[in-house]
Each structure stands twice: as C-alpha cells, then as structure tokens.
Amino acid sequence: MTEKRNSRIALLAVVMLLSGALLGLISEDASAANAVGFISSDSPSGVSVTFINQETGASQSVTSSADGSYSFNNLDDGEYSVRYSKVGFLSVLDTWSVPSDLPLDDVAMYLAPAGSTSVTVNVKDGGGTDINGATVSLMSATTEDSWWTDAPVGYTVSNSTDVAGDAGFDSLTLDEYVIRVEASGYATTFGNTSDTNIVMLALDDTNKQTVRVYDPSGSPLGDATVFMYDATSSTWYGANKVGYTYYLQPSAGSEVYVYAYHGSNNNPSVLKIASVSEPATHNMEVGSNSAANDGIVYINSAPSQGAQSVTPMYDDRMIKLNPGPSASIDVTGTTDVDGSHIVAAGSEVNFSGSSSTSPIGGISYNWGSSSDVDYSASFTESGTVTLIVTDEFGATDSTTVDIIADGEAPAPDFTATVKSSTDDDGTAYNETNVEEDYTTVVFDASSSTDAVGIDSYSWDFGDESTDTGNVTNHIFANPGNFDVILTVTDVAGNNDSKTMTISVKDVTIPSAEFSWSYTNETGGMVSGAAMEGEPTHFNANGSTDNSGGDLTYTWDFGDGETASGVTTSHTFGNLTDDGFNVVLTVSDASDNADVISYNIKPAQKERPDLYISELSFSNDNPTEGSTVTFEAIVKLLGMNITDSFEVGFFLDTADGEQIGSEIVDGSNMSFGIEHGFNVSTTWKATSGAHTIVVVADTLNVIDESEEKNDLSKVITVSSEDDSSDVTSMIMIIAVVLLSVGSVGYIYRDSLFSK
C-alpha cells in the first residue's frame, strides 16, 4: 500500500473516529459502530454500496468517492448482506458481521464484458400498441454475484422503452442475451436477442383470484396488505382492493404465492396456488401462525431470470427463502432417560406434532398411518415413530422418536443395618437387635437391578410411615413385627416389591391407671368413692402400652385380698381410719411393668342405733322379799330394723346375773327419739344396794353403728332390821344416783334428736 494511500486512510480514520465519538455522545445506542471501506479497481468511484440488515431489514445505500472510500455510520451489531454494483462492472456480493468484521476489507471490482454490438428491443401490447416506460433488462451469459447466495445471475444491463416502445443497448458482445420486460399492468415477459420484438399481455380478470382476509376472531379486514409472488416469472404484483375484498390477476399456469399482512400485532398468512387455471376465491386468516414474521416475506425458491439482482425487499419487508418447516414430536406416556423414551411393554404412548413450526404455516402431518396432529400407538416391543410435516409451499421436514418398550420388571433387593448411634458402624439385622425408639435401622436398596434403569424406590415400613430413595433409615416407635416393603419402579413403569419382616423389641413400660366406683341405694354410680359393705368396681381400661398387645393386671386391695383382670370388684369390710392402699400392677408381654396405687377410704354404711332411754322401778325403796317391776323404754335411731332382739335386765353389772328379759320384734318399733318401746320384768328384792342394768340387744343380733345399749339405775332394798339412819343414807344416795341417771338419759335424747 502506498504512503499516499496510508495517509489517506489515516486521515479518513481520524475523521470517522471523531464523528463516531460525537455520534456516541448523542446516540442512545452505545453498541452502534461505524464502517469504512474501499473499492479497489481501475474506476473506484461511483460504486453503489447497498446493505441490508438480515434481522431488521434496514437498508441503506451510499456511493463510493473518488478514492473508492465509502462509509456507514451507527451500524447496529448483526449480520449484513452487501452488494457492490456499477454500470460496466460485475456486481459483487459480500457479508458483514458487525462488529467482528471491522475494519472492512477492500473490495475488488472487475469490468463486465463489452463489445461493439447494438440491440434495440421493441415492446408492444397484445393489440400492437407500443408500450412506453417498460423496463427492459438484458442478461448475458457472464455471471455475477446476486443478492441470493448460490443463485447466479447473468450480467444485467437495463433500459426503459420510449414512446415508440423501443429500448436501445450499445457496447454489447456478440453473445445472445436473455430479455426480461416488466411494465405496470402487464405480465412479465421473456425473450432473447434472436427476436427483439416483445409482446406483453395485459393483466386481466381471466384468472382473477378473489381474496378475503379475516382476523383471528373471524372479522373481515379492509385494511390488510395483500400481494402475490409469481414464482414462474419471479415477479411481485400488488392486489386491487374494493371494500373488504382484494383482487389479484395472475397469468394462467403460473405458480402463485399470495400474502396477507395486517399490522405488527397479527402474524401474516400465506397461500400457495400451484397452478392458476381459473378464477377462485380464497379466505385467509392472519394472526394464527405464531412463527410468521411481519417484517419478512418468504418465497419458495430463489428468484430467477434476472430478478435475483434486485434488492431482496418488498416495500420495507425482507424477502427470504422459505427455511421449510421444523418437525417436532412431543411424547407423553414415557419416561425419558438420556434422550431415550422408555415405556412398559404394551403401554400406549401419545405423540403430538403441535410443536412443529413453519414461518409460512399450513402444516400437514404424516405419521404413516395418521394425518392428525396427534397420534397414539401401543408398543409391545421397541420401535421408531416418524413424523413428516409439510408446509404451505410443499417443503417437508421429518423427525423420529425411538421408543424402548421394556416388559421386564426390576429385581428389588435390600439390606438392613442396625445402628445405636451416629458413630456406630452398625450390625446386620438379626431379628433380635432392634429396639423401639432407640435403634436406627438403615435400609439400603442399592443392590436392586433393572434392564433399563430404576426410576424410584418406595418404602413402606409397616407402621403407617413411608419414605423414598435407594437408601433410607427408620426408627420404629412401637414394638412388634413389621413388614418392611420395598417397591422398585423402573423408568418404563414396571415395578416389583420385596418384603423383610423386622422384629422390634418392647422396652417401654406400660402406663398403669385405674378408676373405681360403687352403686348407691338408688342404682346410681358414684365415681371415685367406695362404701362399706358394698362392691367397689375397679376399671384399669385407662392403662396404656405402646406394644398394642395384651396386658396383665394384678390387684392388691390392701386388706389381704387380691384379684386379676382389667376390671374387677371388691367389697371392703372392717373399716380403718387409714383406709386401704389399693395397688395395681400392669405388665406387658415383655414383662415390662408399671405400678400405681391409690388410698381408698370407704364411707361407713348407715346402721340402726338401739339405746335405753329410761329405766324406772315400781318401788324405789322396797323391802327385802318384796316384788319390784322394772320398766325400760327402748328407742331406735339411724334406720329402721326388721329383726327381733332381746332386752335383758342384769343385777349389778351388764355381765352379772340376768334377772329378766323380753324379746322385741324390731318391725314393731318406730324410728326417732320421740318414739319408744316399753319393756319390763319383775324381781324379788334382796336386801342391799343394787345396780339394775338394762341392755338392748344382748345377743348382738342387730348390726349397730354404736354398741352403747345399756342403762343402769341403783335400787336399795332394806332389810327388816335396818335402822332409820342407814335407811336415810341409802335414800340420799339413791336420790343422787337417780338424778344423775335421769340427766344422762335426757341428754342422750337431746343428742340424738333430729
């Protein structure tokens, strides 16, 4: 490179850097770049440089300056297609990847073939009238780069017809050129220089195609953009709109693609007409094909016959080759492992092609035996499912899914290791080394196997608890025999189980508890109480044990009596002030025992109370040998009686000589201190001072609350020779004793009054 060229590049670079810095201050896009390039040829100026951003469709053109330089400012990062063209030179196609391809390489352009031949092309319509303003393009056999990769185009020169319908071309070689003629309102027409008279046919309604466009809700659209591409001639034609209807005028036999666009919120729709033969009406719906792009128009194949030299844009939309559909299968009903779809043999598998896409839409599905979007099949053995999808243009794509059908269940296996702590390495389970609440059992199913792989391990410990995983641990809260079940499921859904019985030792003592009650005289149950002489009912149902097994109940009632069983009854007699310590011992099958005791003081049962309220003599001072009648009044307190009892009269003491008695029928007595029953006996007096004692129920027939049933009174019997002094003294003593006894009886009546 010359020093002059180096200086020029350096100067231009400084200018661009400064302008770029300035633009960076005012631009919101910090990623924008500036591109500077040079044309290297004998005539570097006047080269048209046009780029298209492949993502956005943005296009811009500049013309190279006298030194061959050109520049673009604020280029977004991305991929660009660039075409360099100049009359008399072969066009060059290039690609840029911004910013990685900056700075740009020089582009060399070469002269196109030239000669001295002149050609005039005359263009007329079907009626012989010259057509003014038609574009006539001549394409030589020498190829140059086109906008379409791998689609060569002959070197093209163009001119427009004059009022006489003529377009002249000079400096041509002797080669035969293909002629392409385009004019508004006419079908594109082709010819060659062996006959330069071109007749163009006007577009008419002979094969009129009527198009109506609807939105996704079914409403017709009157502001859609509708156009068509005639693939036979690589020509674009717009539609004529009347109200909500769009009309197109393709040529007979043409392969036509119709496009309908409606704003950026609705995806475009495309329709293929394989060969136009007659008028037809078509309904097109926009918005339904989510893969379509409002900024792109797809065509079925690269344009030909000179059209590939035209910028690949329609209005402001990019024109791209249809990439074809993309076939995709979604599978349900299988388990996916490392890309393989595994299912249990004989199971049905569901397939869906709904995730297949096409930017032009119109996908059809071919499963081999079905053309629906969804497909189902049962697999008794492994196989392959193939989906072929075809888009609106007829392009296809296929994909396959391999299904592995597994009919073999896994082989479950596991070990059990018993640990007493986290530091314990553990010992193998031996049927005796597992204790409730204390030892941990580690279950390991790593030795389980399966042909296609195990998907899950499920544990049931037999005590209403479960877990998952190939290794797990469990503490048994209760004793007993527990069937631990491991269920292994493989990735195909086949499963099998293995069972191990774990014996758990009982080390927890029971919890003893009991209640007691008795039945009162009205039949009511009195809880937490006992009554003398009545059965006390004991119930140990409140005792508990975690083993769930049978318990043994042993009772000690504290009075020398024992019993067994969860319920029992006992009658307490011979009450004591300290009561009775009732002890219950509850034992489980492992001889673990608990003891509980309660002190029970039975209530004393109500009894009758007999007593002598009064004793009187028929003669308080009899003489020796006289007969004296003793009368006593017997009274009853506490409760009535029905038994008969004896009232005895004794001389001097209650254990002395019985001098008389009377049998009393208890049923004849009345209850209460106001009621008395009279008894009497006679006695032949003997001299001296005597104490007469009367005792109720001398034979202890009646069970009384108190056994204080006697009353005494002194009687003095004088002999015939007793002096008056002695008699007087005895009388004084008798009067005193009589007074004291009477006071005592009166007090007793008051004491038992109610």
Asked whether the whole model's pTM tops 0.75, one would answer: no
Angstrom distance (rounded) from CA 120 to CA 159:
10
- Averaged over 733-752, what is the pLDDT? 43
With respect to residue 685, please indicate whether it lies within any of the assigned structural domains. yes
At residue 339 the predicted structure's pLDDT band, cuts being 50, 70 and 90, is confident
- Can you tell me whether residue 689 is helix, strand or coil? strand
Residue that is written with structure tokens 């900024």 in the block: 295
* Integer CA distances (angstroms), 577 to 277, 599, 601, 674, in order: 126, 11, 8, 33
- Same structural domain, 613 and 746: yes
Position 724 scores a pLDDT of 47
What is the rounded average pLDDT for all residues in the chain?
89
Domain-terminating residue out of 57, 79, 108: 108
With respect to residue 352, please indicate whether it lies within any of the assigned structural domains. yes
* Residue 737 clears pLDDT 80, i.e. is over it: no
The 10s digit of each residue's pLDDT in 544-568 is 998 888 999 999 999 999 999 999 9
* Residue 332 clears pLDDT 80, i.e. is over it: yes
| Counted domains in the chain | 7
At residue 734 the predicted structure's pLDDT band, cuts being 50, 70 and 90, is very low
With respect to residue 647, please indicate whether it lies within any of the assigned structural domains. yes
Position 25 scores a pLDDT of 38
- What CATH code is carried by the domain that includes residue 360? 2.60.40.10
Is 486 buried (19+), middle (13-18) or exposed (0-12) by CB count in 10 A? buried
- Same structural domain, 95 and 135: no
* Residue 541 clears pLDDT 60, i.e. is over it: yes
Domain-terminating residue out of 382, 406, 430: 406
| 741 within 8 A of 711, measured Cβ to Cβ | yes
Position 1 scores a pLDDT of 37
- Same structural domain, 366 and 482: no
* Residue 741 clears pLDDT 70, i.e. is over it: no
With respect to residue 190, please indicate whether it lies within any of the assigned structural domains. yes
Position 12 scores a pLDDT of 41
- Same structural domain, 428 and 535: no
Task: Identify which has the larger pLDDT, 741 or 624.
Answer: 624
- Averaged over 690-717, what is the pLDDT? 90
* Residue 384 clears pLDDT 70, i.e. is over it: yes
Angstrom distance (rounded) from CA 630 to CA 651:
12
- Same structural domain, 732 and 634: yes
- Same structural domain, 522 and 576: yes
Query: Other C-beta atoms within 10 Å of 476: how many?
Result: 24
The 10s digit of each residue's pLDDT in 107-144 is 999 999 999 999 999 999 999 999 999 999 999 989 99
Sign of the dihedral defined by the CA atoms of residues 34, 40, 42, 47, in that order? negative
The 10s digit of each residue's pLDDT in 220-242 is 999 999 999 999 999 999 999 99
Angstrom distance (rounded) from CA 572 to CA 531:
8
The 10s digit of each residue's pLDDT in 50-98 is 999 998 889 999 999 999 999 999 999 999 999 999 999 999 999 999 9
Position 45 scores a pLDDT of 95
At residue 396 the predicted structure's pLDDT band, cuts being 50, 70 and 90, is very high
* Residue 6 clears pLDDT 60, i.e. is over it: no
- Same structural domain, 737 and 623: yes
Task: Identify which has the larger pLDDT, 388 or 1.
Answer: 388
Please give the share of the chain, as a percent, with pLDDT higher than 90: 77
* Residue 726 clears pLDDT 50, i.e. is over it: no
Helix (H), strand (E) counts: the chain? 2, 56
With respect to residue 509, please indicate whether it lies within any of the assigned structural domains. no
At residue 575 the predicted structure's pLDDT band, cuts being 50, 70 and 90, is confident
- Same structural domain, 622 and 747: yes
At residue 312 the predicted structure's pLDDT band, cuts being 50, 70 and 90, is very high
- Same structural domain, 230 and 315: yes
* Residue 745 clears pLDDT 60, i.e. is over it: no
Angstrom distance (rounded) from CA 322 to CA 326:
11
Angstrom distance (rounded) from CA 274 to CA 611:
136
- Same structural domain, 19 and 130: no
- Averaged over 6-26, what is the pLDDT? 40
Distance of CA 124 to the CA centre of its chain: 77
* Residue 30 clears pLDDT 70, i.e. is over it: no
* Residue 530 clears pLDDT 60, i.e. is over it: yes
- What CATH code is carried by the domain that includes residue 315? 2.60.40.1120
At residue 31 the predicted structure's pLDDT band, cuts being 50, 70 and 90, is low
At residue 672 the predicted structure's pLDDT band, cuts being 50, 70 and 90, is confident
Position 605 scores a pLDDT of 83
- Same structural domain, 441 and 356: no
Each residue of 247-266: b (16+ CB within 10 Å) or e?
ebbbbeebbbbbbbbbeeeb
The 10s digit of each residue's pLDDT in 627-636 is 999 999 999 9
* Residue 606 clears pLDDT 50, i.e. is over it: yes
At residue 336 the predicted structure's pLDDT band, cuts being 50, 70 and 90, is confident
Which H, E and C letters describe 92-146, residue by residue? Answer: EEEEEEECCCCCCCCEECCECCCCCEEEEEEEEECCCCECCCCEEEEEEEEEECC
| Phi, psi angle pair for 98, to nearest 5° | -95, 130
Angle, vertex CA 714, rays to CA 712 and CA 717, nearest 5 = 140
With respect to residue 360, please indicate whether it lies within any of the assigned structural domains. yes
With respect to residue 510, please indicate whether it lies within any of the assigned structural domains. no
* Residue 3 clears pLDDT 80, i.e. is over it: no
- Same structural domain, 311 and 340: no
With respect to residue 243, please indicate whether it lies within any of the assigned structural domains. yes
Range of the domain at 185: 117-200
Position 721 scores a pLDDT of 63
Domain-terminating residue out of 557, 578, 600: 600
The residues pairing with 619 across neighbouring beta strands, listed in sequence order, are none
Please give the share of the chain, as a percent, with pLDDT higher than 70: 91
At residue 418 the predicted structure's pLDDT band, cuts being 50, 70 and 90, is very high
- R_g of the chain computed on alpha carbons: 64
Angstrom distance (rounded) from CA 131 to CA 747:
160
Position 743 scores a pLDDT of 39
The 10s digit of each residue's pLDDT in 173-206 is 999 999 999 999 999 999 999 999 999 999 999 9
The 10s digit of each residue's pLDDT in 450-485 is 999 999 999 999 999 999 999 999 999 989 999 999
At residue 9 the predicted structure's pLDDT band, cuts being 50, 70 and 90, is very low
> Which of 26-30, 422-426, 747-751: highest mean pLDDT?
422-426
Residue that is written with structure tokens 């204080």 in the block: 708
